[in-house]
Homo-oligomer: A and B are copies of this chain.
Amino acid sequence: MADAGGTGTTGDSLLFLTDEQLRKGIEAMFFAYRGFTADPDRILEDYAYGRAHHRALHFINRSPGTTVTNLLAILGVTKQSLNRVLRSLIEDGLVESSVGRNDKRERHLSLTPRGLELEKKLSDAQTARMRAAYRAAGPEAVAGFRQVLEAMMDPDQRRHFNLLKDQPG
């Protein structure tokens, strides 16, 4: 923690590493995450679903045909937690679970037309805010935003994040 205050002897400006700046970054994450989830949350109320359902819909849409095990690793929750959410989505006809071809133990998950519809509704709401923020901040700010977020992830999370990259979606 030497020179964390940035007032030391390094000529290079490290003022962006002061405790005050870091604290503000923490607070920015807190307030921004609330905005980030606010719009989908409002929509989900009408469906008696929660954030957990949204996450499942998002990542199944993102990687159609993914297995339950893979989804568990991405979401970082227990099998029981995910199962509760998945069961209701399957019962309601938003998600389809099909037995694996090669390995019949696996279940491959995909969205039904109704599932795609809700996912799009949620995604549109969340993306609208994101787009406005991106547009307001500009491309260079967005690049920085993405760099810092990626650096904040745990290595495992970053691996999952990068595996999602550039998929045909």
Contacts and interface: CB of A to CB of B under 8 A. Distances in A.
A13 B169 CA distance: 22
Interface in A153-169: 153-154, 157-158, 160-161, 164-166, 169
B16 A139 contact: yes
A13 B56 CA distance: 33
A28 interface: yes
Contacts of A30: 55
Interface stretch (A81-89, A91-99, A101-109, A141-149): A141-149
A17 B161 CA distance: 19
Interface residues of A, number: 65
A11 interface: no
Interface of A: 4, 13, 15-17, 19-36, 38, 55, 58, 62, 76, 123, 126-127, 129-154, 157-158, 160-161, 164-166, 169
A158 B34 CA distance: 11
Contact of A169 (B20, B34, B131, B169): B20
23 contacts: A13-B139, A15-B139, A16-B134, A16-B142, A17-B134, A17-B135, A20-B166, A24-B146, A26-B36, A26-B126, A28-B145, A28-B149, A29-B149, A31-B157, A32-B150, A38-B154, A133-B152, A136-B147, A136-B151, A141-B145, A141-B147, A143-B144, A144-B144
